[in-house]
Structure 1
Amino acid sequence: MTEANKADPWRNISNVVVVGLGITGLSVVNFLSSRSNELDIKVIDTRAEPPGREQLSSSVELYSGGWNLDWLLNADLIVLSPGIALATPEIQQALKNGCKVIGDIELFAWHVDKPVIAITGSNGKSTVTDLTGVIAKACGVNVGVGGNIGVPALDLLQNDHDLYVLELSSFQLETTSSLHTAASAFLNLSEDHMDRYDSMEDYRQAKLRIFDNANCCVVNTCDAATYPSKELGLELVEFGLHSSAQYGVVVDQDKEYLAVNGVPLVSIEELSLVGRHNVANALVCLALLEQVGVDYRQGFDALKSYNGLTHRCQVVADKKGIKWINDSKATNVASTAAALAGLNCKGTLYLLVGGEGKGADFSELGEHLSAINVKLCCFGKDGNQFLPLHSSAELFDTIGDVIEALTPSLRRNDMVMLSPACASFDQFKNFMARGEAFTELAQRYA
């Protein structure tokens, strides 16, 4: 967007209501406050004690514990946090009243003036986002990484980066319409957030918005759901775990390699990342970086040494021949299935599953569990829904109860893995807190 175009969205806007505080809401308030002294900024949060309220400037009025419809109906612009659906009745009233409703990514789009890479998908998007940034940095690029992972997108604009790499959730994409990207990737689609969407197709369409205004669309040859409509005539780049994909896997002298256009580049056995899903993730990173002109070959050492994100298949203890793995970020069935597919466990796998199920169907995991030597340890609000999946399944109240019960049975070559296939909100603030609790227990009992 040109500077002239970027000024257009702010015409006739003086009253802004930020809905939802927390990390994202605070970043929006701080960004708006730094942009103009003339904006009247208010915040609504339906929680009685919203996180971040102590960091909110005293000049910004806060309404908490419910909705203030008068504020909404008199706003010129509403900036909605991702956790609040557009379908919320109070937001729908504001829309019918003619108010413009956007999210923080749309606000970012109005102001960014450097190339943007955007990544979405049901699983793997955090790893791809982080690894893309790591490789770009190793290649000498001044890169800003954030969005739905780590740093809020608007906070990234405080620094003059040459490239932005953003993880975007379906929730964020719902309120984004003018983000121009040099390249966007849709990694995969699997059942998630069925408590928010009416159907899988509604969920998919929200994800597909990442290709609106994209110069290049990176899609998964193994998942047809990631492809935009052919009628749109968009430029596609394909990745997949086979030799025919532009970014694929080839075999040379009995070794598998990451390959581009059939040319072997990096031996898969040299990667620190574990699992076939992470091979695919690495391929996406190469595809995205090539689209923005980064010579990713300079970052191969960084690619090889990268061992993943905290809370994503992270080994947090390895003592007496027993590995403890924190995969708390596996908040849906497909993510847990991918983790299981990448494991090499010579003993018994003690798998911790459960939490807030979000209306998901867990039956798919049964097939994966039947193929391995597993003891299924179920916990949390929806832990009972996993009991029919395996004959070894046992129900506990908490992760702590699980660890205390299983520890005396552990033997060399066993593995204890938290990969819950559920959200954490029944017992924890977020998946990070859940992962940290597991890590603390693992290091204590190991």
Structure 2
Amino acid sequence: MTVTCVAGLGVSGTAAARALAERGERVVVVEALDTDAQRLAAEALERLGVQVRLGSQELPVEASRLVTTGWAPHHPLIAAALERGVEVVGEVELAWRLREGQAAPWLALTGTNGKTTAVRMLTSMLLAAGRKAAAVGNVGVPVVEAVGEPYDVLAVELSSFQLHYSDSLAPHAAAILNLAPDHLDWHGSMEEYARAKQRIFDRAGVVIYNADDPRVAALAEPYPSKVGFTLQVPRPGEVGLVEELLVDRAFVDDPREAVELATLADVRPFAPHNVANALAAAALARSLGVPAEAVRQGLLDFRPDPHRLAHVERVGEVDYVDDSKATNPHAAAAALSSYRTIVWVAGGQLKGADVDELVRQAAPRLRGAVLIGVDRARIAEALARHAPNVPVVDIAERDTGVMDRVVAEAARLASPGDTVLLAPAGASLDMFANYPARGEAFARAVRALKAGA
């Protein structure tokens, strides 16, 4: 009998082990930690017949397959499996293989930024059309759990980590929202990162791509059945904008005509990159026959997640906006392009990404910058090159309570009509538990500022 080793007792690893055990397969889980939380998870799995080895990352001798939930290829466990010829698959690939009977089609999407927003917009559109749907994958429940439920369709958000270990996925339609350098420390190069993203297209029925992003357009080029989305007037076979309208010229009987899907006012929060998310979600929904009126209703029903261009307060004619989810330069660039004049709160872990182009493009909008986090010096250097007249406050403290000073310094730099924008361009783990904790600390500091104003 095949013995599957599952790497880790995280949410996806536990779900994968449970799904395999419930199908009568032999499963061994290896987990480096040995804490109370891990022991509780282990006990639950052991009742299903799963063997759990806490405090270990050794590949079991008897394993013929390894299920990973996003561990890098250079991790010793992955390297050991590859050296021994053990098959390595991701939790998403496992879920695809475990689909049973009349399995629900997948509408899958990936991208450097906007994935969660777009997949939740898509799910809202599907629900508005009366489909039993769920957002799964890198958001919501693990895919391996969802494939066992009677859904009509799954809206699947996929990260580059998940796609790296997925070989046979064949979604009904797949979209790439955008592509910019990210996770290069994991993938090793931009080329490998892009290839991981491109895997979502390899067996897709319909390839949906950002026609405004040259990198994404190049990835889509080899595939015959493709639909572009654009913030320009769409050509036949695309979805895009005509003045204030989102329109479809792809999933229509006559591509010389355009079907109205929604208006710009229906997209919230309004920002160019979020309109692109809405167009991508609409194209995915339309590929499955969702009517235009359900696309619009889905956008109206959609509620953005916190920390994504979230307006916190207006204090003294200055707006304070929390976009803590901007954990890489591409996401920060989208946020910075959404406001006219900005005092920028930035910094954190850049994960090997370059910020030079980000700062060069943002420079005309900047009225000041407050820098925090482990890689703030790299942002300061880019500001010195491209925005030498912009005042910069460098805050070396790394305690989580420092956000009060950050906001106070930003308020000092801001003038009426400016926006103080938290768009860090880096991850948060050097100072905070996660990006929501960073955003919440910013919001608390802003509210304290208002209370004392």
TM-score interval (norm. to shorter): 0.7 to 0.9
Contact 1:22 1:50 in 2 (8 A): no
Match of 1:291 in 2: 287
Match of 2:224 in 1: 234
Contact 1:377 1:395 in 2 (8 A): yes
- Shifted more, 319-328 versus 237-246: the winner is 319-328
1:415 correspondence with 2:419: yes
Match of 2:77 in 1: 90
Contact 1:208 1:228 in 2 (8 A): no
1:54 to 33, 40, 58: 40
The CA distance in 2 between the partners of 1:394 and 1:93, in whole Å, is 47
- Give the CA deviation at 1:61: 4.3
The CA distance in 2 between the partners of 1:165 and 1:338, in whole Å, is 24
- Give the CA deviation at 1:353: 1.0
2:380 to 373, 377, 387: 387
Contact 1:356 1:426 in 2 (8 A): yes
Match of 1:21 in 2: 9
The CA distance in 2 between the partners of 1:65 and 1:402, in whole Å, is 40
Instruction: Tell me the TM-score normalised to structure 2 length.
Output: 0.86
- Give the CA deviation at 1:55: 3.0
- Give the CA deviation at 1:367: 2.1
Tell me the amino acid that sits aligned with residue 118 of structure 2: V
Q: Secondary structure at the match of 1:56?
A: helix
Match of 2:94 in 1: 107
Q: Secondary structure at the match of 2:365?
A: coil
CA RMSD of aligned residues (A): 2.5
Match of 2:252 in 1: none
Give ranges in structure 1 of 5+ residues lacking alignment.
1-11
Number of residue pairs matched?
A: 422
Tell me the amino acid that sits aligned with residue 357 of structure 1: L
Q: Secondary structure at the match of 2:88?
A: strand
- Give the CA deviation at 1:86: 2.1
Contact 2:112 2:179 in 1 (8 A): yes
- Give the CA deviation at 1:307: 4.9
Instruction: Tell me the TM-score normalised to structure 1 length.
Output: 0.87
1:259 correspondence with 2:282: no
Match of 1:360 in 2: 353
Q: Secondary structure at the match of 1:437?
A: helix
The CA distance in 2 between the partners of 1:162 and 1:181, in whole Å, is 14
- Give the CA deviation at 1:53: 4.9
1:436 to 437, 440, 449: 440
- Give the CA deviation at 1:257: 1.6
Contact 1:136 1:296 in 2 (8 A): no
- Shifted more, 427-436 versus 277-286: the winner is 427-436
- Give the CA deviation at 1:157: 3.1
Q: Secondary structure at the match of 1:234?
A: coil
Q: Secondary structure at the match of 2:175?
A: strand
Contact 1:26 1:52 in 2 (8 A): no
Match of 1:43 in 2: 29
The CA distance in 1 between the partners of 2:413 and 2:432, in whole Å, is 27
- Give the CA deviation at 1:68: 1.6
Contact 2:269 2:309 in 1 (8 A): no
Provide closer, same or farther for how the CA distance between residues 439 and 17 of structure 1 changes in structure 2, counting only shifts above 3 A.
farther
Provide closer, same or farther for how the CA distance between residues 41 and 330 of structure 1 changes in structure 2, counting only shifts above 3 A.
same
Deviations 1:390-419 (A, max 9, x none): 432221124524124445666654433221
Contact 1:270 1:304 in 2 (8 A): yes
The CA distance in 1 between the partners of 2:39 and 2:441, in whole Å, is 25
Match of 1:302 in 2: 298
Tell me the amino acid that sits aligned with residue 11 of structure 2: I
1:334 to 318, 327, 330: 330
- Give the CA deviation at 1:174: 0.7
Give ranges in structure 2 of 5+ residues lacking alignment.
250-256
Q: Secondary structure at the match of 2:156?
A: strand
* Matched-pair identity in %: 31
Q: Secondary structure at the match of 1:422?
A: coil
2:313 to 311, 317, 332: 317
